[in-house]
Structure 1
């Protein structure tokens, strides 16, 4: 089945790529309206206009037809809201693509109105005169992830903030713990997964440190009510925070996959893959691993090498093998190069039994096209032939190869940046 992720370079898009890249059921495609990491994360990738561009619909339809796309994941709330009423006309299935649900999810005002009879909906105020207790929170109606939210101490400050926030909502201040709850609804309308997780360190609205939390009666009530009142199919999530009395109150709800759904995947609940299986009409069974406690996230760096080569020359001691063990970064790079059909050549002056050293480090001889065991003092540059790259922890070796052959040379610290 052919799956398109758009936009592909968002944190959600990159998580979907990781979740689906090894699935035997999926041929994965990505598209973005800007140049970003999606180009590196997706083997099949295309650029599209922004959804606000008049040419978007035509370009999107052409791309869907060119690739024969069956299923689309939208990774931003505005994109979900835009594509939902158009998906049927495009001839594709949009994950959680109910137009009405996407519209309500994109606007907190509509979400709160739909659920206003529930005790876990926060109080809203029309103006400063209606405020029952200060401080209050002002948030944009179409914001997400806590972005654009301002804590306001009094009426004078509120007057200023209201001029800066687009489509502002004035809500009660919730001072307590905040959670995200990832959910999944099947094609039969069954709520198969309700997984709460912490937001312990948040950067740009994204939880970078997070772990599973128990789902109590209040959280289950919110999940089941949302599932009952909205047309849902696939992954979705909501965010809550405790009020002054310690009760959960709803912050927002979204009909797409969350940026932190990697926590669910770490537990064995692969929400993007469940969406694929659900699209195929299969009955789903979850097998969560409850002993996992924490997921840490970070920014990741990748370098793009503007150089075409066919061979990688690798040093052994303190490069491929460190303290008698295989260097994980080096092995990951080596296998990635083999996947790209590059040749590996081992260049070493290792003083001991080379084969025994490789066997002790569990490095197979067969991964190398050649193994060149040099004599003491013999230059490695004598055995290097361009086009190639050279990786060695010893600077004089890199300097010699660079001067003689003019090829890219790298220290061991660069291996996690490449390819």
Structure 2
């Protein structure tokens, strides 16, 4: 079976990391990442490259060369400016861009262009060409090419408006919409059919990202807006739009985008993997949506991964209160065990367990075959004597860690670091 070579760029954005999680287990995908800056993308993608920013003169040549060297079939752009830049160019470089119609990408990047394109439709917010034309206060000033609510300012007087216009790049003056806000995740297939429309709330926002989002039921007005956008533009793949209720309770358009949204993970959790659907659609497959309505809410948070500047062959684990907690396998430790095996590392178990460690492992449903060696130590025997170098050592007991650290000068970790290692 032929696999699709997929490149995610920029790879380290929240959208890029969501695509990595959405595609990393697919048998249909070989996954690659690229970024113009040093960020988490290099940790999330096994195959990763650094490329210039799209504003740099050598971007086109370097990016085209990367596509050729990796034989990339399909590119996911994770930023609206990148989407707009790549859309008219990428075909000449031998790859396809997800939702890569250049006119749709151009319109989606500019709020003013979007509002003009859809003209006087009832769900387009009222805009004002200048401060002197505002007849209903307050109003909102926002950057024409902003995203995620960043740079938006509510102003109540002409004086405040003048100040805001002077401090906002390419400002757009819009009517104030005081009501609830929605993001609507969508998917359009290669036949132009709107296969999926999934509204969700934005209940807690950090840095323009919905850290708490709740999947909502159907709304005829929301669907009508989504169908109108889909009918008017050449869309193919995942896209989304954002709405807010006006003073009368009607939905008005804030913005739209020709890419995946980062919090579309809520839809993926309910069975609607929009990134994978894009790959399947690229392969020419007709798709069916299988959605579980019982998945209602997604909670997100910041996570941390460390970069270890140390090359090692072996990871040595303690058993009690490290690999096991109260006789039960520690999920964080087991995740790390299997991740290290995936990276080709050898595993050694070092324990002073009071009884037969093999029986204890069996009772905890941990296969002893995970470990190259299992060393059952006497109480006074130093663990450092059984650690083959180069290695790392993981143990909950501080005296054990300090003995190994002082004897071997290798990295040692407590159980609180398990989730930070090797994502």
TM-score (norm 1): 0.99
Gaps of 5+ in 1: none
Q: Which residue of 186, 196, 205 corresponds with 1:202?
A: 205
Alpha-carbon distance in structure 2 between the residues aligned to 1:355 and 1:384: 20
- C-alpha displacement of 1:338: 0.8
Q: Give a deviation string over 1:198-257, Cα, whole Å, max 9, x none.
A: 111111111011120113011001100000000000000000011111111100001111
What is the match of residue 236 of structure 2?
233
The aligned runs of 1:20-419 (5 Å cut-off) are: 20-419=23-422
Alpha-carbon distance in structure 2 between the residues aligned to 1:129 and 1:380: 78
- C-alpha displacement of 1:115: 1.2
- C-alpha displacement of 1:118: 1.2
- C-alpha displacement of 1:132: 2.6
- C-alpha displacement of 1:141: 0.8
Alpha-carbon distance in structure 2 between the residues aligned to 1:407 and 1:88: 50
Q: Give a deviation string over 1:259-286, Cα, whole Å, max 9, x none.
A: 1111110110000100000011110001
Secondary structure of 2:278's counterpart equals: helix
Aligned CA-pair RMSD: 0.9
- C-alpha displacement of 1:293: 1.3
Gaps of 5+ in 2: none
Secondary structure of 2:185's counterpart equals: strand
Alignment check: 8 A CA contact 2:240 2:257 kept? yes
TM-score (norm 2): 0.98
Secondary structure of 1:331's counterpart equals: helix
- C-alpha displacement of 1:376: 2.2
Which contiguous aligned blocks of 4+ residues in structure 1 show a shift greater than 4 angstroms? none
Q: Give a deviation string over 1:299-320, Cα, whole Å, max 9, x none.
A: 1111111111111111011000
Alignment check: 8 A CA contact 1:206 1:259 kept? yes
- C-alpha displacement of 1:161: 0.7
Give the total of aligned pairs: 419
Alpha-carbon distance in structure 1 between the residues aligned to 2:53 and 2:377: 56
Secondary structure of 1:261's counterpart equals: helix
